[in-house]
Chains A and B, each alone.
Chain A
Amino acid sequence: MSAQYPDDLYYTKDHEWARIEDRDGTKVATIGVTRYAVEQLGDVTQVDLPKEGESVKAAEVFGSVESVKAVSDLFAPLTGKVVKVNSPLSDSPEYVNEDPYDEGWMIQVAISNAKELEALLDAAAYQTFLREQAE
């Protein structure tokens, strides 16, 4: 099992994470939901994601995740174009529960504005945010 909140990720207050890689000069963000989100959702039964080539915009809805109990929106941490979708999730949504930071990733986005990263939380700040929410 991966760490609760890995240090190499960026986080949002909507409980998404982003992992940034440099690919031939383009910054690509792999995006998913956090362990906290998964614990709140319970068993995920369906994930609806955009298609490759579509654009997503920071802080706007890019998809949704259905758990047994309810449906929740997914908010994009960053703006950009979807370059890859984790298609196995359509048959195996349980990956989101089992391994939210690895097999449970959702989309990869070629980000168009690296400055947006400054608005995201690091692991320590995200965990501080979670503690504040709990109080």
Chain B
Amino acid sequence: MRRTPLYEKHVRLGAKMVDFGGWAMPVSYPTGILDEHRATRTAVGMFDVCHMGEVHFVGSGAAATVQRLVTNDVARLENGRAFYTVACLKSGGIVDDLIVYRLQPDHYVAVVNASNIDKDVDWFQEHKGAACDVQDRSEMTGLIAFQGPGAAQALQPLTTFPLDQLRTFSFATDVTVAGLPIWIARTGYTGEDGFEIFCDAKDAPTLWDRLVDAATTAGGRPVGLGARDTLRLEARLPLYGNDLDQETTPLEAGLGWVVKLDGDDFIGRDALRAQAAAGVARKLTGFVMTERGIARHGYAIFDADGAAVGTVTSGGPAPTLGRNVGLGYVPTRLSVTGTKLSIDCRGKRVGAEVVSGPFYKRGRK
């Protein structure tokens, strides 16, 4: 199994390590998933995301290449800004979901899912345009997410950079945290305010220790993949491999807001235009369990008449809500708020109801 530069840190903290797509990653630390979830919602949670991929696009043709590869409008990005987007096949199926950062007009960085790095790099190389170098810098790049309502306040003492000037989906380079050179972005995958801090892989252990101290002082803690999943599910952020894959399109997944059909051309645009014109037949739909039961990935979904209509892609407890929730693809007519569904929880049909929007939304400051 592959190890991130923080592997020894997790073991020393007593983490339960699991195989996550070939990576040895912490699923939880000794206080448990629920406590880590709560810490992130109320104070600070910090996450080792060094396993994620950083792919650089460099050269005068970088913007044109990135535009060809992703559905969002690259022309809209300024230096120091980032957006969430997807890369699609010609069929409109999703190759990966990613965040694209613009450093310079001739230098973009895509942060991609760990399990997709090799596939993505091959896809990007194959479809890049002229005058663009695609460089996989995943191995040499460390990444730590520092998330939660207390994140900015806890982090500020470690840097002279004024964090309050960093807007959501903005980032800054030439910053130091704890004396180490880093890039910092106001992005995350928890539904909270927070930061993602990129560093040299060799600096990651030192940075981690300093961040653990800062988080602990603020009542926060390291958080494993278990709570990362419950946090992102509550915020209704999709997970590639569960909610998104090459058989699903961004329009079906409710990601139409990152698909700019009228902008510059990109791979998959024709298929997505046709799908938009015809209307999507199925939609990724959120539901809450109205009876006692927990939906899990792969469970069958039924309509009110008892007909099988889809499959759960993500499901589990939403600890902040004290309810059990899930996501799954169902026919569009059943994706309307209030629609009654049932889920086959290990042979027992358990009632559920469609809800719109995130299950959990943080309060505005």
Contact = CB atoms under 8 A, between A and B. Distances in A.
A65 to B, nearest CB: 11
Contacts of A90: 292
A58 interface: no
Contacts of B293: 46
8 contacts: A42-B16, A45-B324, A66-B294, A66-B317, A68-B226, A68-B230, A69-B27, A90-B292
Given A42-B28, A64-B346, A71 B33 contact: no
A70 B33 contact: no
A45 B226 contact: no
Interface of A: 42-43, 45-46, 64, 66, 68-71, 90, 97
Given A42-B32, A71-B296, 12 more contacts: A42-B27, A42-B33, A45-B294, A66-B294, A66-B317, A68-B34, A68-B226, A68-B316, A68-B317, A69-B27, A69-B226, A69-B316
B33 to A, nearest CB: 5
Interface residues of B, number: 19
Interface of B: 16, 27-28, 32-34, 226-227, 229-230, 292-294, 296, 316-317, 319, 324, 346
Among A45, A68, A69, which residue has the most Cβ atoms of chain B within 10 A?
A68
B178 to A, nearest CB: 31
A64 B229 CA distance: 22
A43 B33 contact: yes
A90 B294 CA distance: 13
A48 to B, nearest CB: 8
Contacts of B230: 68
Given A69-B226, A70-B296, A71-B346, A45 B317 contact: yes
Nearest to B30: A39
Contacts of A42: 16, 27-28, 32-33, 226
B225 to A, nearest CB: 9
B289 to A, nearest CB: 10
